[in-house]
Copies of this chain bind each other. A is one copy, B any other.
């Protein structure tokens, strides 16, 4: 009989919960708004009642995995803090949940959980050695080697978003010229806005129905797919910035593949064509021939599936 685990994808907007079997199939699935249950006691109550509903249907739980949007110490199942959810600093969540549910509980950074999901049941199937990057407001990353997340000495390895691509670039609390200061969602949109405000004509304006507030990286990617010159330029620049950090990843870690997930990653060739091209320019031929750049396939389910996998593999 295949085992089942609870996978919890704790996001800033919603908490997605699934009952997942070892083959990665989601048997049950629900969610609640983070804002409705951000207080710990309420959050635990919601999770408990959902789990109770599912066990009442005859499902048994082998364990629970939780992916959270912030700094964690996986070995202790400890949350240092969550970037966008107040009230979750210094929480020994795995310990608390273990007591309450009487099951093994594992708590990890959400990007690590997604990476594990894609590695085991998504775009990484059949590969041993994979780097996962997710594009959004920030840029997250994780390395999976021989089925295990590579955590580094302090449980926070894989932080590709802060990898410098320009040593004399913008200063931030994380350093200087870090990748996500160029390709975070806001930066991509800003790039379009400043060009449009300088008077550039572009299909982006039409796609946003004339309302510049409506411009998102997806809108820009759609315009690029239609051949819009400005949008193609922005996607090309974004891809080249990513390629620079991916060159660092490739030279240092030499994975078989880099799996790219998150918002813009859904845009297909308008991102992946220039990304592969620029990366090849930025690598020695020997490395360029070996590295694969592949889109993530699990989409929004990666977090639930990957979180559940944390429970199975530990």
Cβ of A173: which chain B residues have Cβ within 8 Å of it? 284-285
Q: Tell me how many chains of this kind the complex includes.
A: 2
Binds B, one of A15-23, A24-32, A59-67, A240-248: A240-248
- B153–A255 contact, CB under 8 A? yes
Bound complex: CA A63 to CA B62 (Å): 46
Cβ of A162: which chain B residues have Cβ within 8 Å of it? 247, 251, 284
- A164–B285 contact, CB under 8 A? no
Count A-side interface residues using an 8 Å CB cutoff.
46
Which A142-170 residues have a C-beta within 8 angstroms of B?
143, 151-154, 156-160, 162-168
Cβ of A255: which chain B residues have Cβ within 8 Å of it? 152-153
- B152–A253 contact, CB under 8 A? yes
From B177, B252, B282, B285, contact of A252 by CB (8 A):
B252
Cβ of A254: which chain B residues have Cβ within 8 Å of it? 151-154, 156-157, 159
Q: Which residue of B lies closest to A71 (CB)?
A: B286
**A228 close to chain B: CB less than 8 A:** no
Cβ of A285: which chain B residues have Cβ within 8 Å of it? 173
- A248–B284 contact, CB under 8 A? no
Whether A290 contacts B153 in the complex (CB less than 8 A), given A176-B282, A251-B160, comes out as: yes
**A301 close to chain B: CB less than 8 A:** no
Chain B: minimal CB distance from A79 (Å): 14
Whether A158 contacts B128 in the complex (CB less than 8 A), given A167-B165, A175-B284, comes out as: no
Bound complex: CA A283 to CA B163 (Å): 10
Cβ of A252: which chain B residues have Cβ within 8 Å of it? 141, 143, 157-160, 163, 248-249, 252-253
1/0 contact string of A269-286 vs chain B (CB within 8 Å): 000000000000111111
Cβ of A151: which chain B residues have Cβ within 8 Å of it? 254
**A103 close to chain B: CB less than 8 A:** no
**A129 close to chain B: CB less than 8 A:** yes
Cβ of A290: which chain B residues have Cβ within 8 Å of it? 153-154
**What would 23 A/B residue contacts be, using CB atoms closer than 8 Å?**
A141-B252, A143-B252, A152-B254, A153-B254, A154-B290, A156-B254, A156-B287, A157-B253, A159-B251, A160-B252, A162-B251, A162-B284, A163-B251, A164-B165, A167-B244, A174-B284, A175-B281, A175-B283, A175-B284, A177-B244, A252-B252, A252-B253, A253-B253
Binding site for B on A (CB under 8 A): 71, 128-129, 141, 143, 151-154, 156-160, 162-168, 173-177, 240-241, 244, 247-249, 251-256, 281-287, 290
